Structure 1
């Protein structure tokens, strides 16, 4: 791999570093496996700090690395203040954090407050205690219906399929919004609130710079004695802050106390909410400076590669972030969605209904129905468009390599409960085959049993199998190739740092419904042709393009023009 020509400064104490940061999401179990046990680890992350530094990111966000049975990829947490022994120790975490900070890279960790695992000490105590005990009150238990409590308290469905209530054998049932191994906390209990305040301080004291808050909108619940049916829940208003299960106004009281913890550090710790709520106005509440400070906008995850959709989404989200006093967040891929290099090679979302959206996966990857070349061109163009926008951009590991989704994983190797429970229930969630396809371990080399993911004399096979074609996207293949996706990302992040301007933009009319052009306050311009035919290349000094130019602006192409 090539070396860095200019050293980057050490971590700056600026409290506003996050506003226009590039954050790189690491799914630790699939990033780098230094001990060769088939599962990525924290020492593996440390070993790749030079790579991350050369890529040019400002921060990394680590998905859960806590002790877990992996019923949901680590989002079933046994202990919020420790490291899963399969991927490291607290000492390894400290070493990794120190190495990242020395490289000028901040550290954000995932916090999962809606639910614990069923192996958490609180839940073990709840099962050991009788109904009505203080221990059970830390979770949401209800008596079952029927003569002996043999029926669930309500007909609710969990997010991964199947019932949302699980019996414990004594006539009581507990609520789990997700997998049965993920019981929901009762956030009205002071022990639960204190558990997370202690956790926030624990990681902040270890040097963590911020937190990504999982399903931040679900914590507070207000359940009447007679529970509503699933149909009644679906008909309830989700815009008033009074829904019994989600986005209740009182959740902001929780985050106000978290904000006090964040602001007690210098610089203040930051947070970003994953909040799937009904309206932009509701989402803005989580991004307020008195709350978490920033909230993910996922609008582009469900948008086609379409100029009109992109312009509307950008305009709306910039207005929302300005109103909240925050900055916007731009995301094209993460650990929960099909990689955008594949999404953009599929027919438009509007043209896919029912199971049609997963037929390409069922046929394998690459498969009929996916135009991989078109998807790659559009992905590069969309990425350059995003990196030119004001606000922060969140990248997902492997997207800098142009990795497509892996759709043909064997069913017996899949791990995602969304896949297995979709089969059990005959429902289709997460494109029908779950989220494992975007979580396959990264290819670092073009050869070897695990393509450089696993180190050591005899590394174990990766926990999810890599397809043979992954070798085409290996870091060592793309490193130094002037036309590779990795080279494009490195150059884009370098130029972005040089060109960055105030958090506004001005749309420049192009006379074409397929071409978007915007100008930042310092004169930096971004022009994207979302269409299939070439368009006129604007006058100006092109400093970066998502593909080679021929005197025009080809379809599915973005250019940056320097002032």
Structure 2
């Protein structure tokens, strides 16, 4: 059963029903997972909320859980099936909450545990599932465990929870090995006054846990249970490929011309031992009623290794970063779609489709660049000194891409603001940037702040309606006024209304549970059938002919000539 049932397949009826969603779910009297079918994760549309940038309920410039609750009607009207919340736990916020000081407490900047339980109940009452972030590779350096480790001697049980090692050199003045931090510089910091160093694959305020320690494993199983008992429907597992390090922590091989290379491969990534952990977590989730899921954030190569994370006794799905990084080219998209579906089929898992998230340049800005290049990778943002994207072209392509992506069988993720066509803030000055990647590289890496800017809700309001005041934790560009929700609500051709129509038709035609059948369409054009819909996307610049007698249900742009599909445009056709 889908979250919404539709009584007709015509576009008008589907859209009307999407705006008057049929719920029928009573408020939960005790914490429990949202009701629904056991296969919901195989076909759902999951909306990522980055809490600090979604909506500000108290006017302090920082988004919060009260803000999320206030916008649940908007998300319901959009037609998404589930919400994924980035971290809201107690944290000093050195890495926007991915440095967790207490996994069981909502940080006061976001509200309280009671606020989260209210959000959970209200989302469930509207039929939406709720997935939360879990950050198991590292804690904050302000976590009680790490503070205890610093106060304890080398070799103590407290230090055994993390990765401490003696430094090299006569007095331990050199790091234990040559591993780099993902955020720049070395992955080791020295304990003041000692020969020992601690490992942090990310920021120095994010010490890596030692997952060979049984106490660490037991603690995280209890963290899982804590949130499962409150009713969460699943977990997105951060850095799922990083928990286990190779025995002996060997040096990373030095590639010619690139010292300390290897962001995806090496002795710190994708070690086979991680799978024992996820098999144990799978058993924990199975103890609870309803379908609870795990989603892997795993950057691995070769991509065939991604299937190891989504075997039947481990996680339910993994983010498809190959799809996110695909160049604007019909052949490239066909190849990644085919290979993705073939790979997941080998383990019976659903394929996921992702075009943006909180770590990567937003799709409209990516595809507005002449060359995608490194800007598809995390942290390689677009700044004032970078070649600027073509905003109009990027938006046109992003709208067409949405129609391609949301027509594919499987589970799809929408990053907050995608439904608005929101671009990256590409001209943000360095003085405002807070990403540790930017700070640790002295600006050599632009970082991820540009995709994390607070959303615009009202064009004429202070902070564009992000909160009741004019404060925002990151500055919003003036261009965001034209992307504001209130501007798009009343425009039939807006990106927001396009998304609402897409999602209504996706549910009505059960596309997430469908089957893809390619149709030969020639160079620069992709065409396939999914159920009773035909999807055509023209990734070239010249117009292409549509099948004779086509009944157009939806198009990403107006079609100026009957029977012609302009470049960078997609349509959904009704098959006869």
TM score, norm. by length of structure 1: 0.92
1:534 corresponds to which of 539, 543, 552: 543
Tell me how large the CA RMSD over aligned residues is: 2.2
Task: Tell me: CA distance 1:281–1:89, structure 2 relative to 1, closer, same or farther (3 Å).
Answer: same
Rate the CA distance shift 1:560–1:422 in 2: closer, same or farther, 3 A: same
Matches within 5 A, 1:86-235: 86-169=109-192, 170-224=194-248, 227-231=250-254
Among 558, 563, 568, which residue is 1:548 paired with?
558
Change over 3 Å in CA distance of 1:352–1:48 after alignment to 2: closer
Quote the offset at 1:480 in angstroms: 2.4
Task: Please tell me whether the aligned partners of residues 264 and 299 of structure 2 are also in contact (alpha carbons under 8 angstroms).
Answer: no
Q: Distance in 2 between matches of 1:353 and 1:320?
A: 22
1:335 aligns with 2:335: no
TM-score calculated relative to the size of structure 2: 0.90
Asked if 1:345 is matched to 2:355, the reply is: no
Aligned equivalent of 2:69 = 46
Q: CA deviation at 1:540?
A: 2.6
> How far is the alpha carbon of 1:190 from its aligned partner?
1.1
Q: Report the 3-state secondary structure (helix = DSSP H, G, I; strand = E; otherwise coil) of the residue aligned with 1:544.
A: strand
User: For residue 312 of structure 1, what is the aligned residue in structure 2?
Assistant: 335
Secondary structure at the residue paired with 2:428?
A: coil
1:22–1:393: 8 Å Cα contact kept in structure 2? Answer: yes
Provide the C-alpha distance between the structure 1 equivalents of 2:375 and 2:227, rounded to a whole number of angstroms.
43
1:71 alignment counterpart: 94
Q: Distance in 2 between matches of 1:505 and 1:237?
A: 33
Residues 14-49 of structure 1: CA distance to partner in whole angstroms, max 9, x if unpaired? 111010100000000000001111110001100000
Q: Decide whether the 8 Å contact of 2:179 with 2:252 is kept in 1.
A: yes
Mapped partners of 2:429, 2:525: distance in 1: 41
Which residue is equivalent to 1:401? Answer: 420
User: Any conservation in 2 of the 1:22–1:59 contact (CA below 8 Å)?
Assistant: yes
Distance 1:186 1:352, change over 3 A: closer
Q: CA deviation at 1:224?
A: 1.6
How many residue pairs align between the two structures? 541
Cα displacement string for residues 278-298 of structure 1 (whole angstroms, at most 9, x for unaligned residues): 123210011112011211111
Which runs of structure 1 show a deviation greater than 6 angstroms over 4 or more consecutive aligned residues? 232-239, 351-354
2:453 to 440, 446, 470: 440
* Aligned pairs (5 A) from 1:508-519: 508-510=519-521, 512-519=522-529
| Contact 1:157–1:230 under 8 Å retained in 2 | no
Is the CA contact (8 Å cut-off) linking 2:458 and 2:464 kept in structure 1? yes
Aligned residue in 2 for 1:362: 384
Choose 437-446 or 537-546, whichever is displaced more. Answer: 537-546
Cα deviation digits, residues 293-334 of structure 1 (max 9, x gap): 211111122211110010000000011111111101101110
Conserved 8 A contact 2:21-2:76 = no
CA–CA separation in structure 2 for the residues paired with 1:188 and 1:300? 33
Please, which runs of 5 or more residues in structure 1 have no aligned partner?
none
Q: Contact conserved, 1:156 with 1:230, CA < 8 A, in 2?
A: no
Note the C-alpha offset of 1:267.
Answer: 1.1
> Secondary structure of 2:480's match?
helix
Which blocks of at least 5 consecutive residues in structure 2 are unaligned? 1-15, 26-33
Matched residue, 2:19 = 4
Name the CA shift for 1:560/1:8 in 2 (closer, same or farther; >3 Å): farther
> Residue 101 of structure 2 contacts residue 140 of structure 2 at CA under 8 Å; is this kept in 1?
yes
Q: 1:494 aligns with which of 491, 498, 504?
A: 504
Contact 1:447 1:471 in 2 (8 A): yes
- The aligned residue for residue 270 of structure 1 is 293
